[in-house]
Amino acid sequence: MAEQAQALRRTPLSRDRVLRAAVALADQAGIESFSMRSLAQDLGVVPMALYKHVANKDELLDGMIDVVVGEIDPPRPGPGWQPVLRARILSAREVLLRHPWAPLAIEARNQATPAVLDYLNTMVGILRDGGFSTDLAHHVMHAMGSRMLGFSQELFDDSRRAGRSGAADPTPPADFPAEAAARFPHLAAIATAASHDDTSVVGQGCDDQFEFEFALDLLLDGIERLRQQGWTSSGPHGSIR
Amino acid sequence: MAEQAQALRRTPLSRDRVLRAAVALADQAGIESFSMRSLAQDLGVVPMALYKHVANKDELLDGMIDVVVGEIDPPRPGPGWQPVLRARILSAREVLLRHPWAPLAIEARNQATPAVLDYLNTMVGILRDGGFSTDLAHHVMHAMGSRMLGFSQELFDDSRRAGRSGAADPTPPADFPAEAAARFPHLAAIATAASHDDTSVVGQGCDDQFEFEFALDLLLDGIERLRQQGWTSSGPHGSIR
DNA sequence: GACGGTAGGTGTACGGCGTACACCTGTCAA
DNA sequence: TTGACAGGTGTACGCCGTACACCTACCGTC
């Protein structure tokens, strides 16, 4: 039966298989409980075997990020920079929702990985094709920041928790605990002001997709205005208009 | 001489002393090499002694965050919501530049700490006083995201590295390595388009403060426009204007 | 002055982590 | 047949967070 066990993992390891298994494991178990040892076990292999395919854990994480970013749709060309950029960012967002550990992992790495650079490079290309000067395109990329990759870096983002400790756990909405509401009245008011149409799936009080698109369009529209008026950084500093 | 050693740390530990030492150590050594053990050593104490003052490492990090956020200036009231909000955000940014590990720590925690909630609560208050509906204020808070706290979550942020591995190390500008420039021409073009006045301290190619204020004002101006036109979420969805 | 309680520092130990290093084994070219 | 080499194994090290039992110094009370 030792043969059986061996047969089960006959297919030899490969960098690609390691990366895919790692992404799947992080998706399911959360990045927090993801370790070289757990990944090895998942693959039916001894931990050190991984090091024949990956230099170390950091490099593995880089590879995982590249796998994820590789899932983002290529840009679908069309008239106008704005819809093209917008569509691709929303595609990126969909991908990152499937891999909720990825935003934190991306930010925790200190160097952008090749796939991220490639992604950003094409995004700049879209801007340039849309009539942006390199100058303005530069600032736009900074202004968009991680939103360019489809995540929004909220300060309390429930979906964030999922990336940490495992797949979506059905915590109740966990509204403001009354005592906190007294200390932070403005936050309480805001939290209960969930006034988008009540077509939202669960009465969650806050539609993440809506918030994301709201912020995205706010930025894109502001950017378009700058482009139209031929903004340059040598204009009046400190004031945008 | 055992007495000497004791005398040196006569002042007994306290939660406050632990937190301050922790912040100082993280500032200096980076969050990556920050550990309960290193902090204990820094305080001339055995690691387990810390646990008499903090529940565990996570709770310690929460406390450190609260210390940092507590350093942000209270809002200085004035006419108009925009300058008030802007000034406080820039104050927050100054604080976080002194504690480069803090942004990552804040994002890695899954619950906002009391000090963060308090900070955000006052920010919402500023908006409300400025004539925002709870509805719009809600979306604005989401749209600002972590920028509300003074950090920008760039995809490749040099200053970020400092937070990780220790105090500012004088790496050379590390411009595009030529080979990469060929693969990512748009990024290369952008990286060299450092056209703000050459008064910048070091020829860094990119003035972080400028980029931050650029994005901040872009958002604030767009937000003010929405407020002026009485935007509400029950208006035409998907399109901001 | 004796004494029990308690706050706070200590020492030891456990399980988990990433990974260095020596080793084994199966495959394939010569 | 042989020997190189790719790739999986086993052991071990040093680091981490922290549970738990302990010691000690100080305190108010009688």
Q: Is A186's pLDDT higher than 90?
A: yes
Find, in chain B, the residue whose alpha carbon is nearest to that of A135. B193
CB-nearest partner of A195 from B135, B161, B185: B135
User: Is B12's CB less than 7 Å from nucleic acid strand C?
Assistant: yes
Q: How far, rounded to the nearest angstrom, does the alpha carbon of residue B186 sit from its chain's CA centroid?
A: 29
Q: Measured CA to C1', what is the nucleotide nearest B36?
A: D17
For position A177, what pLDDT does the model report?
Answer: 75
The gap between B46 CA and C1 C1' (Å) is: 35
CA distance B205 to B194: 5
Q: Is A120's pLDDT higher than 80?
A: yes
Residue-wise pLDDT for B105-164, tens only, equals: 999 987 899 999 999 999 999 999 999 999 999 999 999 999 999 998 777 665 566 666
**In chain B, what are the domain boundaries?**
2-54, 76-194
Beta carbons of B190 and A127 less than 8 angstroms apart? no
Q: Angle at Cα B16 formed by Cα B12 and Cα B22, nearest 5°?
A: 100
The gap between B59 CA and D28 C1' (Å) is: 33
User: What is the DSSP secondary structure assignment for residue B197, as one 8-state letter?
Assistant: -
User: What is the DSSP secondary structure assignment for residue B4, as one 8-state letter?
Assistant: H
Find, in chain B, the residue whose alpha carbon is nearest to that of A157. B110
Please judge whether B143 and A180 are an interchain contact, meaning their C-beta atoms are less than 8 angstroms apart: no
Rounded average pLDDT over A41-54: 97
Residue-wise pLDDT for B170-194, tens only, equals: 444 455 778 889 999 999 999 887 6
Q: Is B7's pLDDT higher than 50?
A: no
Q: Is A91's pLDDT higher than 50?
A: yes
CA distance B182 to B173: 19
Rounded mean pLDDT of chain A? 86
As given in the structure block, the two tokens for residue B118 are: 């308090």
User: Is B42's CB less than 7 Å from nucleic acid strand D?
Assistant: no
Which bases of chain C are contacted by protein, using any atom under 7 A from a CB? 7-12, 16-22
The gap between B34 CA and D25 C1' (Å) is: 31
* Shortest alpha-carbon distance between residue A40 and chain B (Å): 25
Residue at the smallest CA–C1' distance to nucleotide C12: B48
In A 18-37, which Cβ lie closer than 7 Å to strand C? 33, 35-37
Chain B residue numbers touching A135 (CB-CB < 8 A): 193, 195
Chain A residue numbers touching B153 (CB-CB < 8 A): 107, 145-146, 153
DSSP, residue by residue, B65-131: HHHHHHTSPPP---SSHHHHHHHHHHHHHHHHHH-TTHHHHHHHSSS--HHHHHHHHHHHHHHHHTT
Residue-wise pLDDT for B81-93, tens only, equals: 999 999 999 999 9
User: Is A1's CB less than 7 Å from nucleic acid strand C?
Assistant: no
User: Is B5's CB less than 7 Å from nucleic acid strand C?
Assistant: no
For position B201, what pLDDT does the model report?
Answer: 43
Q: Is A82's pLDDT higher than 90?
A: yes
In three-state form (DSSP H/G/I as H, E/B as E, the rest C), the secondary structure along A25-63 is HHHHHCCCCCCHHHHHHHCCCCHHHHHHCCCCHHHHHHH
Beta carbons of B100 and B90 less than 8 angstroms apart? no
Instruction: Work out the pLDDT band at A180, boundaries 50, 70, 90.
Output: confident
Instruction: Work out the pLDDT band at A89, boundaries 50, 70, 90.
Output: very high
CA distance B23 to B107: 17
Q: Is A170's pLDDT higher than 80?
A: no
Please judge whether B186 and A213 are an interchain contact, meaning their C-beta atoms are less than 8 angstroms apart: no
Residue-wise pLDDT for B155-168, tens only, equals: 766 556 666 666 65
Show Cβ contacts of residue B225 under 8 Å, excluding neighbours closer than 6 positions: none
Which class is domain B2-54?
A: mainly alpha
Beta carbons of A19 and A63 less than 8 angstroms apart? yes
Beta carbons of B134 and B230 less than 8 angstroms apart? no
Find, in chain A, the residue whose alpha carbon is nearest to that of B217. A240
Q: Is A159's pLDDT higher than 90?
A: no
For position B233, what pLDDT does the model report?
Answer: 83
The gap between B100 CA and C6 C1' (Å) is: 40
Show Cβ contacts of residue A19 under 8 Å, excluding neighbours closer than 6 positions: A54, A60, A63, A64, A66, A67
